[in-house]
Amino acid sequence: MAQTGTAATRLVVLRGNSGSGKSTVATLLRDRIGRGVAWVEQDYIRRILLREDDKPDATNIGLLGHIVRYALDAGYHVILEGILKSGRYAAMLTELTADHRGATGHFYLDVPFEETVRRHSFRAQRNEFTTDDMREWFEPLDLLPSLDQRVVPTTSAAVETVEMIFEQMRFEGLARAGTPPSASR
């Protein structure tokens, strides 16, 4: 594809197993950055918008890439969040990373299975899928083969993870400068 975004846009990719804290970190990071941040949730696109199973070459993979590119080209910083299994999403994520003109950071939330199950028991969607479903989906340390990634351990609290990402991605001073004009309405 073609280059996307600007030197000022930031793309944060949050990956990890179900119940690893991706949505919590995305919410807090978006709040920390302020306006001008698009949060692209794999689950929303795949499960709600398309009602699609997570399988190789599924429609959601390309759609996620297009949505991220559209937001970056409009001047938004983007948080792309989801399980995003490497076997299915690596090509799209590698292409996005290569094409993005600004900084891109990949962060993998590494949480043991037992902890993801415990966390899931407190979630609003706890009745939507079972522990057995989670066991079937679980892949320990599912890193992308050719991209630099920061592994975030279970011991990193959500607020600590947000501050680490904020600093590593150099959002300070960029948050307002990267805000698209339409976001101030």
> What 3 state SS string does 157-174 have?
CHHHHHHHHHHHCCCCCH
Per the domain annotation, does 134 fall within a domain? yes
* One-letter amino acid of 94: T
Q: Is the dihedral of CA 54, 57, 62, 63 positive or negative?
A: negative
CATH of the domain at 163: 3.40.50.300
Per the domain annotation, does 178 fall within a domain? no
Q: At what angle do helices 59-73 and 86-99 cross, to 10 degrees?
A: 20
Per the domain annotation, does 183 fall within a domain? no
Per the domain annotation, does 3 fall within a domain? no
Q: Which parts of the chain register pLDDT below 70?
A: 174-185
Q: What pLDDT does residue 184 have?
A: 45
* One-letter amino acid of 52: E
Per the domain annotation, does 5 fall within a domain? no
Per the domain annotation, does 180 fall within a domain? no
Bridge partner residues of 14 (DSSP): 81, 107
Cα(42)–Cα(65) distance, rounded to whole angstroms? Answer: 10
Query: Where in the sequence is the domain holding 49, given as residue range(s)?
Result: 10-173
The tokens describing 6, both together, are 């600007």
Bridge partner residues of 81 (DSSP): 14, 41
Q: What pLDDT does residue 180 have?
A: 55
Cα(20)–Cα(144) distance, rounded to whole angstroms? Answer: 17
Position of tokens 């994520």? 93
Look at the chain and report how many structural domains it folds into: 1
**131-141 tens-digit pLDDT:** 888 888 899 99
Per the domain annotation, does 179 fall within a domain? no
Cα(128)–Cα(34) distance, rounded to whole angstroms? Answer: 31
pTM: 0.90
Q: What pLDDT does residue 178 have?
A: 46
